Structure 1
Amino acid sequence: MAGAARLCVTNQKGGVGKTTVAINLAGALNELGRNVLFVDLDPQGNATEGLGLLEAYDAEPPSLLDALVDPAAVDPDDLVSAHPEMDVVASNVDMNAAESTLVQEPDGETRLDALLDRLEEAGEYDVTVVDCSPHLGLLTDNALYATENLVIPALAEPTSKRSLELLFDYVGALELDHDVTIEPLALVANRIENTRAATEMLEWFDEALPDVPLYRIRKRVALQRAFASGKSVFAAEEETDMSAVFMEMAEQVDEQLLRQEIPA
């Protein structure tokens, strides 16, 4: 794989704080000195809003969808927006037509890979973080195929058991179809509350995925304030104990990605 190390943040279950995890993990990687490219692949544009780039969501073409349809036709400079912590490929209202458009294209599930090659060559990035849409489909296929590395946010509640089973079944099928290996880098137990059910779920996460590092993110108003300011907690200079958890996650993910880049 040419260019930057890559990862995607995904869970088909909505409301798990996926975008908050993606933005703060990217911010932590920036704190480590990495040159980060952030791609908002979610048609809802939550990360675009959470990075203070809402105007880009309604911008005129060329959009991310145009670049996915024909990765060679769009100038990277026309696609990338500047942010204090990272470069951002914003989502766009046009992305609501992405699934129906890409399904008509040959190899529609591999277009993001070709686009990232161009973007990374132009920007000389160290890490690319892709924030996925909250469902399984062609856009998630693109993210998984292009990155081959997965960070999974999940709530510490029983409904997460089924959603994780579905996700790993889906990933396994994609691996077989495309002859790739997709590595789970981290499981993020998000918005943890002090309940017995949450404690039991944290134990289940450890037992069910013993080889995947588990990170515990508790509810903090500072995370919401940082999102509203268009930054990660690091750039927003929010005082929260969760900053240390995101930094630990970034250090571990960075080490794993670097290890993948070194030939055996």
Structure 2
Amino acid sequence: MAVKSEPGKRALRVLVIANQKGGVGKTTTAINLGTALAAVGEKVLLIDSDPQGNASTGLGIRHAQRKTTLYDVLMGETPITQAVVKTELPGLDLVPADPDLSGVELELGQQARRSFKLRDAIDPIRQSGEYTYVLIDCPPSLNLLTVNAMAAADAVLVPLQCEFFALEGLSQLMRTIELVRGSLNPNLEIQGVVLTMYDRRNSLSEQVASDVRSHFGQTVYQTVIPRNVRVSEAPSYGKPALVYDLKCAGSQAYLKLAREVVVRERDRRAQAA
């Protein structure tokens, strides 16, 4: 059963999807969680903050359609509202990326507030009330783009592959989050850790999941994202898995995750009230 939003009672929530390790399902999670949140009634803006632009490609936004990108926004050339592209999915919009974004760190140089460019850009989105969630897909590195995303975000959602070195990489990410809290964004929270690429046939997946849950407790979502061929195929067709094959195990897992995210946010607001 879909979890409905509460009209008139929702403030924008900015979630950065981050992990400095590549190949953990980060962009796949950004695309499909955004799609699933839209499917359960949320209004979502996905910001592609990776110069590879895979989130943009995975949502079917061709390079010819990316006339204005996050690069233009961060360089102060275009308001973020003018960079928004409508996707084919009701309730899900996108700020696309292209390879120009890889030059941001060099071009911003020693500019004042260079770590707050994205936060400043998002302010009009926060004030508009148009969206309930902004998801920021980060590159697989801890560079200025990731720092900007964390400085702009309310919370971090961490995709974690069920593999041997998972906890080691997660510890490094947690140290980065603490550094951002200490110097740029004291209110940054951990929204949750989602286990990805889970293979029930592999005892290592179960062992990693058990270790992560014992270490991070309730921070880890109950939903796990399984290894799934249909999810892997979907980006080559420019579609989220939920559009490519709604009934596959991966799509159903992302729908469950979206409901869990919404419930977790509802509980957070209730505790804060």
TM-score with structure 2 setting the length: 0.87
In 2, distance between residues paired with 1:146 and 1:260?
Answer: 19
Q: 1:182 to 1:56 in 2, by over 3 A?
A: farther
Moved more, 207-216 or 81-90: 207-216
Could you give the per-residue CA deviations for residues 112-149 of structure 1, whole angstroms, max 9, x where no partner exists? 11111224545711111110010002111111111121
Q: Does 1:142 align with 2:148?
A: yes
Q: Does 1:118 align with 2:124?
A: yes
Using CA pairs under 8 Å that are at least 6 residues apart, name the structure with larger relative contact order, 1 or 2. 1
Q: Does 1:95 align with 2:101?
A: yes
Segments of 4+ moved more than 6 angstroms = none
Q: How many residues align?
A: 259
In 2, distance between residues paired with 1:9 and 1:32?
Answer: 19
Q: 1:195 to 1:175 in 2, by over 3 A?
A: same
Match of 2:243 in 1: 235
Match of 1:84 in 2: 88
Moved more, 118-127 or 151-160: 118-127
Q: 1:76 to 1:173 in 2, by over 3 A?
A: closer
Match of 2:183 in 1: 177
In 2, distance between residues paired with 1:237 and 1:155?
Answer: 22
Pick the aligned partner of 1:211 from 215, 218, 233: 218
Give SS of 2:217's match.
coil
Q: Does 1:74 align with 2:78?
A: yes
Moved more, 111-120 or 162-171: 111-120
Q: Does 1:50 align with 2:54?
A: no
Unaligned runs of 5+ in 2: 1-9
In 2, distance between residues paired with 1:219 and 1:125?
Answer: 31
| Equivalent residue letter for 1:108 | R
C-alpha contact (below 8 Å) 1:26/1:129 kept by paired residues: yes
Pick the aligned partner of 1:36 from 35, 44, 59: 44
Give SS of 1:6's match.
strand
Q: 1:51 to 1:157 in 2, by over 3 A?
A: same
Q: Does 1:256 align with 2:264?
A: yes
Moved more, 106-115 or 231-240: 231-240
Q: 1:153 to 1:97 in 2, by over 3 A?
A: same
Cα RMSD for the two superposed structures: 2.1
Q: Does 1:106 align with 2:103?
A: no
Pick the aligned partner of 1:129 from 128, 131, 135: 135
In 2, distance between residues paired with 1:106 and 1:49?
Answer: 32
In 2, distance between residues paired with 1:12 and 1:234?
Answer: 26
Could you give the per-residue CA deviations for residues 20-40 of structure 1, whole angstroms, max 9, x where no partner exists? 111110011001111110100
1:258 Cα offset (Å): 4.2
C-alpha contact (below 8 Å) 1:8/1:143 kept by paired residues: yes
Give SS of 1:38's match.
strand
| Equivalent residue letter for 2:183 | D
Q: 1:163 to 1:56 in 2, by over 3 A?
A: farther
TM-score with structure 1 setting the length: 0.90
| Equivalent residue letter for 1:136 | L
1:259 Cα offset (Å): 4.8
In 2, distance between residues paired with 1:130 and 1:195?
Answer: 31
1:260 Cα offset (Å): 4.7
Could you give the per-residue CA deviations for residues 155-185 of structure 1, whole angstroms, max 9, x where no partner exists? 1112111100100011011101125132222
In 2, distance between residues paired with 1:182 and 1:120?
Answer: 16
In 2, distance between residues paired with 1:7 and 1:76?
Answer: 17
In 2, distance between residues paired with 1:34 and 1:256?
Answer: 14
Match of 2:16 in 1: 8
C-alpha contact (below 8 Å) 1:7/1:129 kept by paired residues: yes
Q: Does 1:199 align with 2:203?
A: no
